[in-house]
Amino acid sequence: MEKQVLFTIFGATGDLASRKLYPSLFRLFKRGELAEHFAVIGTARRPWSDAHYREVVLDSIADLANDKRQAEHFASHFYYQSHDVADAEHYITLKNLGEKLSSQYQTLGNQVFFLAMAPQFFGTIAQHLKSEEILTGKGFERIVIEKPFGESLETATELNDALSQVFDESQIFRIDHYLGKEMIQSVSAVRFANPIFEAVWNHQFIDNIQITFAESIGVEDRGGYYDRSGALKDMIQNHVLQVLSLLAMEKPETYDEASILEEKVKALQAIRKYNPQEALENFVRGQYVSGEFDGQNFIAYRSEPNVAPDSRTETFVAGKFLIDNERWAGVPFYVRSGKRLTEKGTRINIVFKAGQNSLFGTNEQNVLTIYIQPTEGFSLTVNGKQAGAGFDIEPLRLAFRHDSEYLGNSPEAYETLFLDCLNGNGMNFSHWQEAKRAWELIDVIRQAWDSEKSDLPEYPARSMGPRAAFDLLERDGRSWSWVPDQWYRERGLLGTETEIK
């Protein structure tokens, strides 16, 4: 059903707004979720006119728009207000415009504020929304924010304190894209809708769990931001720990936001918080240097635009988390994430214990792989009999992937998140208790690294990270279960035949 709502986007001239927000709003418009009763106020410092703003919006949706009149009709709902977030006067203008549009489009007083700006402004904006009475309590009032949620436990707490003076937790929607992804939601389905997996989801049967968030791209044009952040804060603190908590949590009482949150938080609380020495032993980092892949040369991280030439920022992290509870006693959760790796791929490998079998000796380990990006699906490696004469056991892969046609129609993560927010469903957003615990775990690692003076391990661009990341598992008698992937190759999605370590 059509939603009635007024959106206010702070940072409307920025990259996030045009690359992600406008296209996903347009998708919702095409699906009829937004129709006549919505309006968007875009605000930022630049003195744009409505007409210019609408041109920008049209540009940003050009790829999606196959009907010019429909696109123009969509863009006609957009209004621009030049605004400095620190200036109280500007909020009065904003309030007046909001009231006018609210009655013109009959938005029922429902408001969604999207802060597509640096987090240092969040507190100021929230305070002004309250003091200038833009928040009226007439309809639903929700605020959507992007990562990063703070830069440490201390700054995240400050940020949260500022927001929670104005909004309560149920009104705050912290985006974590990976939670919006369908397959992550399906992690729960794989686990809880299949008795065969549910029964073995514990330390008795699982040897280890591996979570990989690999990117083949470098920092692109976001070097300035990334150089202050690094892979640990950019990926592990939020996305990786979110996925880990979904995998590790106990079965929620019901499949709803509150029950799932409760279980995820318990799982995060049970992750062992390392002391600095343990952090150094269990986490490794790396930075990419120049490399060559598929006949193409890639520059070193330190040569990327807006990156300090002597930067010590990590572009790769691998580590081992341990969960101190009954279900996961002794099961390592290995995680890794990096830029300029061999290929793009987000996947989870559940590696089961090898069977000591009196008939066939030691079998290959069964591995359940959940693929999240760039394709979604899962596979299960089981042992079967090799075809033909003789009796040799070999690992076979039972695989299911959504084909590309389906993917084409698959909702963009942001679109789903917008819709969830409009429906007041916070299940696929991260909550303060989760962010807080994640920072507690991450801060220790960051501080341990910051006090370490030794050289940063290097890895060539378009490889799977530094040697230390492989040693981390080899030390435990294990290895990463990332194998050359036939599926991508057959569909021409991988460059060439390349040895993937």
Binding site for ligand NAD (CB under 6 A): 11-17, 19, 44-46, 83-86, 116-119, 146-147, 225
CB of 378 to ligand NAD, least distance (A): 27
Nearest-angstrom CA–CA distance, 282 and 319: 5
CB of 160 to ligand NAD, least distance (A): 15
User: Closer CB to ligand NAD, residue 213 or residue 274?
Assistant: 213
Alpha helices by DSSP H, listed for 34-192, are 50-60, 68-75, 88-104, 122-131, 153-164, 177-180, 182-192
* 251: its two tokens: 């079965």
User: Closer CB to ligand NAD, residue 81 or residue 349?
Assistant: 81
In what order do the strands lie in the sheet containing 367-373? 393-401, 377-385, 367-373, 345-352, 206-214, 333-338, 316-321, 283-289, 458-460
Selection from 164, 155, 153 nearest residue 126 by Cα: 164
Pairing of strands 283-289, 458-460: parallel
Nearest-angstrom CA–CA distance, 2 and 35: 6
User: Closer CB to ligand NAD, residue 6 or residue 17?
Assistant: 17
* 408: its two tokens: 């084409």
Selection from 172, 194, 480 nearest residue 351 by Cα: 480
User: Closer CB to ligand NAD, residue 88 or residue 258?
Assistant: 88
User: Closer CB to ligand NAD, residue 243 or residue 444?
Assistant: 243
CB of 350 to ligand NAD, least distance (A): 29
Catalytic hit among 37, 239, 402, 431: 239
CB of 7 to ligand NAD, least distance (A): 15
User: Closer CB to ligand NAD, residue 86 or residue 189?
Assistant: 86
Nearest-angstrom CA–CA distance, 261 and 427: 8
Backbone dihedral angles phi then psi of residue 492, each to the nearest 5 degrees:
65, 20
Selection from 409, 354, 329, 376 nearest residue 190 by Cα: 376
User: Closer CB to ligand NAD, residue 191 or residue 239?
Assistant: 239
CB of 43 to ligand NAD, least distance (A): 7
CB of 214 to ligand NAD, least distance (A): 18
CB of 96 to ligand NAD, least distance (A): 18
CB of 37 to ligand NAD, least distance (A): 26
3-state DSSP assignment of residue 99: helix
Selection from 301, 147, 287 nearest residue 223 by Cα: 301
Backbone dihedral angles phi then psi of residue 465, each to the nearest 5 degrees:
100, 175
Nearest-angstrom CA–CA distance, 230 and 257: 30
For the question of residue 83 being annotated catalytic, the response is: no
- Chain-centre distance of CA 453, in angstroms? 31
User: Closer CB to ligand NAD, residue 208 or residue 238?
Assistant: 238
Nearest-angstrom CA–CA distance, 273 and 29: 45
Which residues are designated catalytic? 239
